[in-house]
Amino acid sequence: MSISYLNQTLRILALFVLVFVVLFFGRAVLIPLTFGLILAMLLLPFCRWLQGRGLGNGVSSALSVVALLLLVGGIITLLQYQVSDLVEDLSKIEERFNSILGGLKTYVKQHFGISAQEQQKIIKEQQSSGMGQVAGIVTGLVGSLAGIMVDAILVLVYTFLFIFFRGHFKQFLLRLFKPEDRDTTREVLQNAGKVTQQYLGGLGLMIVMLWVMYGIGFSIVGVKNALFFAVLCGILELVPFAGNITGTSITVLMALAQSGDTKVVIGVIITYGCVQLIQTYLLEPLVVGDRLNINPLFTILIIVVGEAVWGIPGMILAVPLLGIFKIICDNAPPLNDIGFLIGPPKEKKKDKKERNFITNLFSKSN
């Protein structure tokens, strides 16, 4: 290994460390900005479609953001409608929880010899000692909600500005490179936007399909307010790994509290298992596909790193950002080796066809 190659590798590693430091300490500013950029990439085809119908850039950009607001507002309205029905059953749910709690007290008394009065005394002591912590949690929650509202407004403003001034930003990026490298830079920008649009568009379509499957499954097994829990499980798919498990766990707990029927709980678990099989072996290959061309190991790793740096927003943004970084690495000679590393291993054509059998079957049938 030559000294120059080693120096170049160390400079790249130092750059990565600097980037992660900036991302961590600048997360309050960078998270809304990054969400705005990703949403702008997603809405750009719709904006161009509006401009093709004769509308100006400003009007098209504004209508793109309005369309996003209408979509989010429709989902919130649907959830609110379902929540109103859920609130009507709160008294029954409370009775069921009290019944479960009474059963637990009886179990503790029979097996551990602690009377119901002693258990109630312990619970009161814990509640009195935890009141300060509860007050702190409530105060923090209110502050978090206020911060989320401010960030949501910032994301919408950033989204509009990125769409409206996209030509200006593109020219700025091109001016950073030599004239002979500008064609490659233009291609990188185009591919980054296209890959992001395809991935997020496929992810959105898959979530809608999950809503339908969860809604049908939960309704069949007898879950009350099945549509609410179906939408909740689908939206939580945005958070990799933990999202689907969290949504299903909430559904199981609420089904147990609503009816107490173990058959309903088992039905929810079976529905979750069936939906996950369909999602893994059918929906993801067909709808999402291998849009980002990333090694599964680095997909998992970047999600873990994203959570460590930016929390839940980092988990949501990590995969599309890694896809953009992969495109940059593939077109920047000093980073070609890194692009090769985070990309999928080269497969023989026969093996790849066997692995994507379902995709090939559906494509032939169409």
- Which amino acid type is present at position 165? F
Q: What SS3 state is found at 66?
A: helix
pLDDT at 51: 92
Rg (CA), the chain: 25
Burial (0-12, 13-18, 19+ Cβ within 10 Å), 284: middle
Give the distance, in angstroms, between the CA of residue 22 and the centroid of all CA atoms in the same chain.
Answer: 23
Collapsed DSSP state (helix, strand, coil) of residue 130: coil
pLDDT at res. 343: 83
The pLDDT assigned to 179 comes to 85
Q: What is the per-residue pLDDT for 289?
A: 56
| Torsion angle of C-alpha atoms 345, 348, 351, 352, degrees rounded to 10 | 60
Quick one: pLDDT at residue 362?
Answer: 43
- Distant-in-sequence, close-in-space partners of 226: CB < 8 Å, separation ≥ 6: 214, 215, 218, 219
Cβ atoms of 188 and 327 closer than 8 Å? yes
Which of helix, strand or coil describes residue 56?
coil
pLDDT at 40: 92
Q: How far apart are CA 21 and CA 15, in angstroms?
A: 10
Spatial separation of the C-alpha atoms in residues 38 and 34, rounded to whole Å: 6
CA dihedral 306, 283, 234, 190 (to 10 degrees): 50
Tens of pLDDT along the chain (366 residues)? Answer: 566 666 777 787 888 888 888 988 998 899 999 999 999 998 999 999 999 998 999 999 999 999 999 988 888 887 777 676 666 666 666 666 666 667 777 766 776 666 666 766 666 665 554 444 444 444 444 445 566 778 889 999 999 999 999 999 989 988 888 888 888 888 888 888 888 888 888 888 888 888 999 999 988 988 888 888 888 888 888 877 777 788 888 888 777 777 667 788 888 889 988 988 888 777 777 766 566 678 888 888 888 888 888 888 888 888 888 888 888 888 878 778 888 888 887 654 444 444 444 445 444 444
Helices (H) and strands (E) in the chain, counts: 16, 0
Cα distances from 182 to residues 173, 186, 308, in angstroms, run 9, 6, 35
Q: Which residues contact 79 (CB under 8 A, 6 or more apart)?
A: 228, 231, 232
Measured over the CA atoms of residue 354, residue 355, residue 358 and residue 362, the dihedral's sign is negative
CB 143 within 8 A of CB 20: no
Long-range contact set of residues 228-231: C-beta below 8 Å, sequence gap at least 24: 228/79, 228/82, 228/83, 228/85, 228/86, 229/254, 231/75, 231/78, 231/79, 231/82
In order of 37, 94, 104, 108, 164, the CA distances from 101 in angstroms are 48, 10, 5, 11, 57
Q: C-alpha angle 354/360/363, rounded to 5°?
A: 175
Domain range summary for the chain, segments of one domain joined by +: 29-109+121-176
3-state secondary structure of 60: helix
Q: Is the dihedral of CA 113, 115, 121, 124 positive or negative?
A: positive
